[in-house]
A and B are shown apart, each in its own frame.
Chain A
């Protein structure tokens, strides 16, 4: 086992017990962990089985905690890495815990008044009070070194477990997400996921219960090394049954008109539908519906996919050279997210529409995002008029990867000629 017991300064020994999959079952100081179907902990009880805390997850993220004995509910707000940044007690208007994290997990500017919580801190993993280390499932991580306490491993023989041979950084078996913890989060002690994803999955990253990923996906998901092969990942190439009703309807209608079976391998010109989905995902993964948007994020993604298709057709063989979009590679972990499923459904819908001669963007080949409601042409100040005429204007959306320019709320997705 790569994890063990702890002896703290007062010489009190704490013993951790795990199941065969590496999930923590018990802490001898008095906690029993109850897991859901995945690795997430849904409840923590006392050693006698009396429930202490219950947790609610939505979209793979921990969103609420119930203190069973007091009946108090706390809401979690996690950042793109899954780190618990703030907690708010139900019925209160101010946060009771506010923590900033340095890139490798050190807590900074801590305001904590929710008792001893949150237990789950950096990247949503439990930080053991006894050791200060983080339990990621497969391995322990120590923020003091910014390193894992044991080398990466796999349950089947592999020359370098979970390495991506096109990225030398992944050959360091002690490095945290290839030493790029601002861009990537680790899911389970093995696998990373793009921090842009608004729904980091806590599930294992591979499809074989320990089989290392193939070249191109490893610990970093977005290295621009090319799209994943459907042959290598058949599970990710099946049609998603979770697309929104609206996008599903568009895909069904347009696809039926085209009488064409859309698959990820369907080719527009240079791009496959799977690659288009990857680009859409990498550009829009952090956006979600705000509740007041003029059309859904699924529709906005379909517009983006249509613009990419239009550019693919327009630029022909020079598409790769002239494209200014994100790479199409998506990690297998990211493929499990709702944002990717929506992107794939959007790519299929756009492809179906294109085959049927329908283009919801009116011929757009460019898109962008704005942190304001302006529906003017794309014309950066200082450039000549008229710029690129605007075609469609969708939003506002919430953005779980906020920046100064693209805030957490009020982001619009625009298509241009």
Chain B
């Protein structure tokens, strides 16, 4: 019995040694590239406004909540800007999603979101494939890299009730 107990203790200690650094790393990773949730809800407010160019069709997303992943900031210093937000919004059918690239400017009064590009995505062999975006061969490759990267961030659910009308200024280049 005591042997079993000591073995169990060793196992737990071993798992802790292995797991704790992993948890610490995951926490650090997840903190990097984040924005306040309130800002994220304002982005969704922009995307659901009726006049927003390439905004979300109301029937595309779930009735109850938005399912998203995102990364904010510099992923690749050669091409990304500090205030760049990459957002994936998943469709209710689980068979489609949209990638939005936008710039976030924090003005004194309201947030400003400038949308740079949009890509349609579909699932393919365990990952999300860019099916169409603006730009040429380079842009497709870059968009796919973005999708692969953002797909590794934590999934977030934001209830529709949390997305309220804001003073955010929204535009599409």
Query: Which residues of A does B touch, CB under 8 Å?
Result: 196, 222-225, 282-287, 304, 311, 315, 321-327, 365-370, 378-384, 387-388, 399, 401, 403-406, 413, 416
Given contacts A283-B136, A325-B139, A382-B60, A405 and B78 within 8 Å (CB-CB): no
Chain A positions within 8 Å of B141 at CB level: 403
Within 8 A of A (CB), among B41-98: 50, 52-57, 60, 78-79, 81, 89, 91, 96-98
CB-CB nearest in chain B for A366: B134
A316 to chain B, nearest CB (A): 12
Contact present for A403 and B140 (CB under 8 Å): yes
B173 touches A404 (CB 8 A): no
Interface residues on B, range: 35 or more
Are the C-beta atoms of B139 and A324 separated by less than 8 Å?
yes
User: Please, how many angstroms separate the alpha-carbon atoms of A71 and B117 in the complex?
Assistant: 54
Q: Which residue of the partner chain B has the closest CB to A301?
A: B136
Is B108 part of the contact surface with A, judged by Cβ < 8 Å? no
Flag if A283 contacts B138 (CB, 8 Å).
Answer: yes
**A383 near B139 (CB under 8 angstroms)?**
no
B150 within 8 A of A: no
Closest to A402 in B: B137
Name B residues whose Cβ lies closer than 8 Å to a Cβ of A: 50, 52-57, 60, 78-79, 81, 89, 91, 96-98, 101, 103, 114, 116-120, 124, 129-142, 173
Given the known interface contacts A379-B54, A382-B56, the answer about A368 and B134 at a Cβ–Cβ threshold of 8 Å is: yes
Q: Which residues of A contact B55 (CB under 8 A)?
A: 383-384
Complex Cα spacing A14 to B128, Å:
51
Determine if B140 and A406 form an interchain contact, defined as CB atoms under 8 angstroms apart: yes
Query: Chain A residue with minimal CB distance to B91?
Result: A382
Q: Complex Cα distance A239/B118, Å?
A: 36
Kindly state the separation between the CA atoms of A282 and B137 in the bound complex, as whole angstroms.
8
The answer to whether A382 and B57 touch across the interface, beta carbons within 8 angstroms, is yes
Could you list 25 A-B pairs, sorted by A, with CB under 8 Å?
A225-B78, A282-B138, A283-B139, A287-B137, A315-B173, A324-B117, A324-B173, A326-B138, A327-B79, A366-B134, A368-B135, A369-B136, A370-B132, A379-B54, A380-B98, A380-B118, A380-B131, A380-B132, A381-B120, A382-B57, A382-B89, A382-B91, A382-B120, A399-B137, A403-B140
B32 to A: closest C-beta gap in Å: 21
Give A346 to B30 CA distance when docked, in angstroms: 45
Q: A285-B137, A326-B139, A387-B54 are in contact. Are A381 and B96 (CB under 8 A)?
A: yes
Q: B78 near A368 (CB under 8 angstroms)?
A: no
Query: How far is it, in angstroms, between the C-alpha of A315 and the C-alpha of B114 when the chains are bound?
Result: 12
Q: Say whether, besides A322-B114, A324-B139, A378 and B134 are in contact (CB < 8 Å).
A: yes
Q: Chain A's nearest CB lies how many Å from the CB of B33?
A: 20
A contact residues around B98 at 8 Å (CB): 380, 382-383
- Are B118 and A383 in touch, CB under 8 angstroms? yes
- With beta carbons under 8 angstroms apart, the residue of A366, A369, A384 that contacts B56 is A384
Would A405 and B140 be within 8 Å (CB), given that A224-B78, A322-B114 are in contact? Answer: yes
**B91 contact set on A, CB distance < 8 A:** 382
A399 to B140, CA, bound (A): 13
